[in-house]
Chains A and B, each alone.
Chain A
Amino acid sequence: MTAETIIQSLASGLLMGLLYGLIAAGLALIFGLMDVVNFAHGEFLMIAMYATFFLFAFFAIDPLLAAPLVAAALFVFGAVVYLLVVRFAMRAKANAGMVQIFSTFGLAIVMRGLAQFFFTPDYRSVTNSWLGGKTVSIAGIYLPEPQLIGAMLSIAAFVALYFFINRTDFGRALEATREDAGAVALVGIDKNRVFALGWGLGAALVGLAGAIMAIFFYIYPDVGASFALIAYVTVALGGFGSVFGAFAGGIIVGLVEATTALILPPSLKSVGIYAVYLLVVFIRPRGLFGSM
């Protein structure tokens, strides 16, 4: 193992990690806003990947151009899911935690079933997109272009999210609702509207990630499951309640995954991520930047 291979795989790990961060950002945002873990998050990603695929297959829209469209579509989808399902789950008078877990989990199963029904279980892929299969060489290190663009998009998204949360009225409303959902009603903020927009925003972020993922990953009804667990670990590692913890968590997960792949056989690569999660929470039960 030369220094070059180590740097090479750490660099790809970093890019992948930034993408994991982008996938997890929506989950972290929704959790931070209302203490709900969306167990259908992986299926949101799956829908976004299919949307990108069909825009490419039917209208020849490249995934890069499709990304904003997919994000917008997912925004609407996320808000609708909140209004139709999650809103009622939050009203549960007993076992609120279980109701949230299993209503969103049931939704995930429905979405997988619908994907199988309409799109068949076949594996699909976006072929001959602008970035697909291309690499750039920077100082002797080869970086795959889709991941590179995805990583830059992730950084841009987190920067935008930072300004959005801290500098806009809606961002402040989001923070205020998070602090005390009862009190904001007194100053005329509609809690349901804020939550619906929060779900929309969270879904839009995963939509962005899905558009990029579609360039270099196979698309099939169960594709979300493998990334959902990574997203949960990413958010928990960073600490629930901290959106930027998800950014740090993503980078750590990406680097650990790359390092594990260097040391252990590829079939064991996910063990590294899980072990690091356990190690972190055993030492710090609130994750790295968790607030509560």
Chain B
Amino acid sequence: MDTHFAQRRRRDLIVAACLAVIAALVPLFVKDVYVQNIMVLTLMYAALSQSWNILSGYCGQISLGHALYFGLGAYTTALLFTKFGVLPWFGMLAGGAISAVIAMALGYPCFRLRGHYFVIATIVIAEIALVLIQNWDWAGAALGIDIPVRGDSWLKFQFTRSKLPYFYFALALACIAWFVTWWLEDSKWGYWWRAVKDNPDAAESLGVVVFNSKMGAAAVSAFLVAVGGSFYAQFVSYIDPESVMGFQFSLLMALPAVLGGIGTLWGPVLGAVILIPLTELTRSFIGGSGRGVDLIVYGALIVAISLALPRGLVSVFSMLTGRKEAAR
């Protein structure tokens, strides 16, 4: 059993490395800016959903308020850059660190809550933050922040001529989020988290410090999501409270993991690769009429996948490979 698990992990790592190399080569062949834009978003959502999955999937603490950390990352980077000229690279780390600290500060009272009380608390806290930022004049209030273009360099993390640098950063971010999950999966934290998810009382009685496990998951998850937010701010160069901290965003971040397979290593990646291009394509091909057909298709898809595949799209893959191994 142990060797089987070790084998699977080695195989996961090799597959991931191959996929990353293939993904890195794609822009050499695909020059269309519209398609490149979709690829950047897909990678970003893969990274975000992977990070969300650490707290909500592995540790089982379902957060529908992660837009808070995304927004904190975006705002920290944008404010430091526009007000103090601090380079986005530092803003990114600062945003991540602030988010991780806030996640633990909020986790302190919130992790006593269970089930729906916890979920609603995460929604409500993100809403409070949203309303506060909408009323914070120094940070641009409801209008948001326009990030001025001050160059075209990796140093300032601004690129006006090409989308490619954003693509490679998003790819790196997705790889990092995946690798962190892969690494934690087999660490003591990973085992603690799964124990906490399955049965917190039993875990506690076996010596798992449930509270600390949740805090650790929250900090890692929030840090990575905030880095994603920093990236997004630089990528779109304009942020406003609703677009980076709105409730919709918390759901969008959760969706790839849920549809791909919550609490699994490949679920968020698979979910993002299928869901994000589909969302963007339905939006541009049938959403242009402004009559909601894209919403109908998108919503029906969510209903269908969540009902038909409660374990997510990855279950289709494991079913196929399972059969193959049985046939041998």
Q: What residues of chain A have their CB less than 8 Å away from a CB belonging to chain B?
A: 31, 37, 85, 88-89, 92-99, 101-103, 105-117, 120-121, 221, 225, 229, 232-233, 236, 240, 265, 267-268, 270-271, 274-275, 277-278, 281-282, 285-287
Contact = CB atoms under 8 A, between A and B. Distances in A.
Contact of A114 (B131, B134, B296, B311): B296
A105 B117 contact: no
A107 B123 contact: no
Contacts, number: 138
Contact of B135 (A95, A108, A268, A277): A268
B124 interface: yes
A265 B114 CA distance: 33
B62 interface: yes
Contacts of A113: 292-299
A240 B117 contact: yes
Contacts of B120: 232-233, 236, 277
Interface stretch (B10-18, B86-94, B151-159, B300-308): B300-308
A285 B117 contact: yes
Contacts of B295: 109-110, 112-113, 116
B54 interface: no
Interface centre among B132, B134, B294, B303 (most CB of A within 10 A): B303
B310 A117 contact: no
B55 interface: no
Nearest to A92: B310
B296 to A, nearest CB: 4
Given A112-B292, A115-B292, A102 B258 contact: yes
A106 B306 contact: yes
Contact of A274 (B127, B258, B306): B127
A103 B127 contact: no
Interface in B124-140: 124-125, 127-128, 131-132, 134-135
B310 A99 contact: yes
B303 A85 contact: yes
A103 B131 CA distance: 28
B123 A229 contact: yes
Contacts of A112: 292, 295, 299
B127 A89 contact: no
Interface residues of B, number: 47
Contacts of B304: 106
Contact of B303 (A31, A95, A107, A265): A107
Nearest to B126: A274
B290 interface: yes
B62 A98 contact: yes
B13 to A, nearest CB: 26
A274 B293 contact: no
B302 A270 contact: no
B128 A95 contact: no
A277 B124 CA distance: 8
Contacts of B125: 274, 278
Contact of A89 (B109, B112, B306): B306
Given A114-B292, A116-B291, A108 B121 contact: no
Interface centre among A96, A101, A267, A270 (most CB of B within 10 A): A101
A225 B293 CA distance: 19
A268 B303 contact: no
A274 to B, nearest CB: 4
Given A99-B307, A285-B114, 11 more contacts: A92-B310, A105-B251, A106-B303, A107-B299, A110-B299, A112-B295, A116-B290, A116-B295, A274-B127, A274-B128, A282-B112
